[in-house]
Amino acid sequence: MKKKTAVVTGAAGFLGSHLSDRLLAEGFQVIGIDSLLTGNVRNIEHLAGNSDFHFIKHDVTNYIYLPGEVDRVFHLASPASPIDYLQLPIQTLKVGSLGTHNALGLAKAKGARFLIASTSECYGDPLVHPQKEDYWGNVNPIGPRGVYDEAKRFAEAMTMAYHRFHGVNTKIVRIFNTYGPRMRLEDGRVVPAFIGQALQGQPLTVFGDGSQTRSFCYVSDLVDGIFRLSQSDYHEPVNIGNPTEMTVLDFAKAILEFTGSKSEIDFRPLPEDDPKVRKPDIALAKRLLDWEPKVAFADGIASTVAYFRQFLSIAS
Ligand code: UDP
């Protein structure tokens, strides 16, 4: 039987590379597209020589031309960490708007299912806790994070328009903080930042007083949620994330304990518009997809620490 073809934009990124692995394991041929602006071929080098995986270096804010049949389009391409989108504000807006338009256009032309990687940032600094899909959010459109938040909100609106107006079979996943191997050590997000600092004996940079909360989902759980959603018939946004909430300060202490590091904690100013709380309500994903996270925090952190240990010893 002929294999189905899935296109993954952002395939050389953290999530895109793990999703590509899962799709290959599910029997898809995968066409991975990435501009390599924040992605890295290191994340997909293990797929070199796999005849079911094809990589195309392309910026999806430009027209995407692909010959042949395409059954699924997963649009994950975007700078995704706060320092990335602060340094790449225009590219972030472009990939969320023009990139989403092009990826939707590809799905429409090929009659493919489409899934957009949206974000818990659609809820901004939330006034409702935990966040349910029907909460419209509290976003500052002109603040520094607005370039990401509004790009993703626009991407959701564009996706629903292609669904309603063109009948494209679309899905929207709102991804909450996710961690695991292949995150970039220098991407500024709290997981690689604290693990990298702890392993190198540097102070852990806790922003603000560390009382803000996040809920961390291990990457294999996240990818499982995305895959299940892509198989469903549901078109409105679905939260995928781990509802186990902790403060950033407690997270720093947990990393010190896991790594056995003697690093100090260094309190730094809180970035503008940094959300004070974040925790997904996953009742919809449970009901619709029979999905909930399976990987315990201790196990997920252990494999992530092992990855960064190896990465640092290779790098040094
Ligand atoms: N954070 C921190 N120190 C760091 C990096 C991040 O205290 O070195 C905090 C950040 O202010 C936020 C939380 O950790 O409150 C999560 O930050 P991250 O950049 O991982 O993603 P966000 O959830 O803000 O998109």
List, for residues 54-67, the tens digit of each pLDDT value: 999 999 999 999 99
**3-class DSSP state of 245:** strand
Q: How far is the CA of 188 from the centre of ligand 1 (A)?
A: 8
CB distance 232 to 224 below 8 Å: no
**What average pLDDT does the segment 167-181 reach?**
98
User: Ligand 1 atom closest to Cα of 210?
Assistant: 7
User: Looking at the DSSP assignment, which residues form a beta bridge with residue 72?
Assistant: 6, 113
Which residue's CA lies nearest to atom 3 of ligand 1?
Answer: 206
Average confidence score pLDDT of the chain: 97
Ligand 1, atom 24: nearest CA belongs to which residue? 274
Which residues partner with 32 through β-bridges?
Answer: 8, 55
Cβ–Cβ under 8 Å, residues 303 and 181: yes
Provide the token pair at 224: 């499982």
| Architecture, CATH, for domain 5-182+216-243+276-295 | 3-Layer(aba) Sandwich (3.40)
Distance 136 CA to ligand 1 centre (A): 22
Q: At what angle do helices 297-315 and 248-259 cross, to 10 degrees?
A: 60
Q: How many angstroms is it from 107 CA to the middle of ligand 1?
A: 34
Residue 145 CA: which ligand 1 atom is closest? Answer: 25
* φ/ψ of residue 9, rounded to 5: -85, 145
Say if residue 47's pLDDT is above 60.
yes
Provide the token pair at 255.
């990393």
Position in ligand 1 atom list of the atom nearest CA 191? 20
d(CA 301, CA 70): 36
C-alpha angle with apex 23: 297 to 121, nearest 5 degrees?
A: 50
Distance CA 166, CA 161 (A): 7
In angstroms, what CA-CA distances link 291 with 129, 169, 223, 266, 288?
21, 21, 11, 38, 8
Give the mean pLDDT of 38-43.
97
Residue range 58-87: mean pLDDT, rounded: 96
CA–CA dist 239, 249 (Å, integer): 25
pLDDT at 216: 98
pLDDT over 80 at 314, yes or no: no
At what angle are helices 14-25 and 219-231 packed, to 10 degrees?
Answer: 60
Supply the pLDDT for residue 1: 80
**H helix and E strand count, the chain:** 10, 13
pLDDT score of 134 = 98
For atom 4 of ligand 1, the residue with the nearest CA is 190
Q: Is the pLDDT of residue 293 over 60?
A: yes
State the residue for tokens 């996953």.
282
Q: What is the pTM of this model?
A: 0.97
CA dihedral 40, 41, 45, 50 (to 10 degrees): 130
Q: How many Å lie between the centroid of ligand 1 and the Cα of residue 157?
A: 27
Q: Is 123 a catalytic site residue?
A: no
- Mutate which of 189, 213, 246 for ligand 1 pocket (most atoms within 8 A of beta carbon): 189
User: Quick one: which of 263, 121, 91, 115 has its CA closest to 189?
Assistant: 121
- On whether the CB atoms of residues 297 and 244 are closer than 8 A, the answer is yes
Q: Closest Cα partner for 9 from 30, 34, 35, 28?
A: 34
